[in-house]
Amino acid sequence: MQEFNDVRGLIIDMDGVLWHGDRAQTGIGDFFQALRNRQLPFVLATNNASMTAEQYVAKLAGMGVEVGVHEILTSGMATALYLAQRYQPQSTRVFVIGGIGARQPLIDLGFTLTGLNDTEPQTRAHLVVCGMDRELSWDKLATATLNLRAGAHFIGTNGDMSLPTERGETHGNGAILAALTATTGVKPMIIGKPEPIIYRQALGLLNTPPERTIAIGDRLDTDILGAVRTDIRSLMVLSGVSSRADVEAADFGPTWIVPDIRDVTRMLLDLPA
């Protein structure tokens, strides 16, 4: 096993790593204190696009952890940035399934968001962006379907089929994407993990070389596979979705496996000064 001794930056998942729903993982405070003591830069990169960076900062503050907005990267933010680099925001209309975390980054970058009744040729969307939506309705699915059938490009903030919560594992955004693909035949482009887009954006924020950067996550099929595709090392915690049995059954895997972030903290404390 490789030694954990040459890390210069971390890309850290949140759901299943730092918390389950609104319940913080034991040791979360010590983990972040170790990061600060080591002056180790990090980006909290999550596939969950339901909240804004500011809301994640507030959620962590409620758990006794202080981070800055610049240390957060959601798949909603990554999606908006990716689209702004490829479309003219001021002339591009977007229909969004998802919460404020998917909508606000697009608004911030100048995109026009369309509504449920904007399906005529002069008002319909050029893009359909779909993120996790806790207020999903038939009307939202119908509007997305009409736009996709009219030729809108289909973008998924992430493809997670499940989401760990304090009540257990529930459906994720991938289930919504699957429903829209089933009715339209259009497959979405995925921005979040396991695609390398969000990891590459995180590397840009960290300004650390890939070979000295480590991704921490709980899902083999997203966090770890995304790291493999980005050619960076990874550490999987067993406090979320995936298990050792999942790793043994796969043809890829993390560089390290530990039970939870308390073990990661011990690894950080053992780093050479």
CA distance linking residue 28 with residue 37, whole number of Å: 14
The tokens describing 106, both together, are: 């697009």
Catalytic residue among 6, 15, 223, 263: 15
**Residue 263 annotated as binding site:** no
**The one-letter amino acid at 75:** S
Residue 176 tokens, joined: 């919504």
CB atoms within 10 A of CB 150: 14
Residue 108 assigned to a binding site: no
Q: How many residues does the chain have?
A: 273
The answer to whether the annotation marks 218 as part of a ligand binding site is yes
In this structure, are residues 81 and 49 in contact, taking their beta carbons and an 8 Å threshold?
Answer: no
Hey, what are 178's tokens? 């699957």
- The question of whether 30 is a catalytic residue gets the answer no
d(CA 15, CA 78): 17
The label of the residue with tokens 């890829």 reads: 252
| Residue written as token pair 């507030």 | 58
Element housing 201 (H / E)? helix 197-206
Active-site annotation holder among 13, 133, 221, 223: 13
The CA-based dihedral angle spanning residues 150, 155, 161, 166, taken in that order and rounded to the nearest 10 degrees: -120
In sequence order, the 6+-apart residues with CB closer than 8 A to the CB of 3 are none
223 is in an annotated binding site: no
SS3 content of the chain, % helix, strand, coil (to 5): 40, 20, 40
15 counts as catalytic: yes
| Beta carbons within 10 angstroms of residue 273's beta carbon | 3
Binding-site members are 13, 15, 193, 218
Binding-site members for substrate are 193
Please list the active-site residues. 13, 15
Binding-site members for Mg(2+) are 13, 15, 218
